[in-house]
Amino acid sequence: MDTKISLAVITIVAVSMALFPLIVNQSANAVTKCEDESGKSHPWIEGCKQGWYDHDHCKTYNGGTGEVAKGYKVGWSKGSCK
């Protein structure tokens, strides 16, 4: 029984270590890709990053208003709740 539990723990740790860079990299992509949008205002970029972050972390949609809301919508569409 102890062998089965140890094997399960090792498997969970290995899978977590394998998936961690993918999760971290996606958040880093949000910053880069939102900032790379040419001609967008600072509020739009901040909204984009926040929308992407919120969707990646399974938070509720909270777009705000104005340019922030426009950027948030784009960022939200690029994120994914897992």
Could you report the per-residue pLDDT of 20-42, keeping only the tens digit for each? 655 555 555 777 888 888 899 99
What is d(CA 34, CA 80) in angstroms, rounded to the nearest whole number? 15
Of the candidates 82, 80, 54, which has an alpha carbon nearest to the alpha carbon of residue 68?
Answer: 54
Judge whether residue 60 has pLDDT over 70: yes
Q: Give the pTM.
A: 0.63
**Helix (H) / strand (E) containing 32:** helix 2-35
14, 18, 19, 20 alpha-carbon torsion, rounded to 10°: 90
Contact 68, 46 (CB under 8 A): yes
**What is the per-residue pLDDT for 13?**
75
